Structure 1
Amino acid sequence: MNEQLQQTLNALQGGVTSLDASTAASNVSSWHQTLNGVPGAETLVSHLGRLQEALTSGDLQGAAALLPGLSSETERLASSAPAADQDGLRQLAAALRG
């Protein structure tokens, strides 16, 4: 599993509500940069951008409302990801569903 994915899963071990908004925003920003331009990830990148905006503006309810869509897109993309990352992406999708 790639290091960025492992770090995200480690950060979410206590659930999405265990992260403070600035840590979450930093993580989301990093994923947005990583996935921007990846074929097939356009919808996920869009979700990440909206989540980033919600987190940085302090709209935690808005951020929470975006998590189900983010989870669904992560789950959808897991099957086309490198084999070493598929289980981690499914774990991430489950963590986002909370």
Structure 2
Amino acid sequence: MNEQLQQTLQALQGGLTGIDAGTAASNVTSWHKTLDGVPGAETLVSHLAQLKDCLESGDLPGAAALLPGLGSETEKLASAAPAADQDGLHQLATALKG
């Protein structure tokens, strides 16, 4: 599993509410950069941009509302990911769907 995915899963171990907004925004920015331009990830990239905006503006309810959609989009892309990352992506999708 790649390091970025491992770090995200570790951050989520305490639950979604256990992550401060600044850390979450940094993580979202990192994923946005990683996925920008990846075929099939356009919707996920758009959701990440919306999530980053919510986090940076302090709209935590708005951010929370985006998470299930992010989970669904992550689930869709998991099967196209490298085999070593697929299980971690499924875990991430489940955590985001909450």
Match of 2:14 in 1: 14
Residue pairs, 1:18-97, within 5 angstroms = 18-97=18-97
- Runs of 4+ aligned residues of structure 1 deviating over 3 Å after TM superposition are none
Q: Distance between the aligned counterparts of 1:36 and 1:68, measured in 2?
A: 20
Percent of residue pairs identical = 79
Q: Distance between the aligned counterparts of 1:97 and 1:40, measured in 2?
A: 20
Query: Structure 2 regions of 5+ residues with no counterpart?
Result: none
Please report the TM-score for the alignment, with normalisation by the length of structure 1.
0.98
Secondary structure of 1:37 counterpart: coil
Give the CA RMSD over aligned residues. 0.5
Aligned positions, number: 98
Cα deviation per residue 1:25-57 (whole Å; 9 max; x = unaligned)?
Answer: 000000000100011100000000000000000
Query: Structure 1 regions of 5+ residues with no counterpart?
Result: none
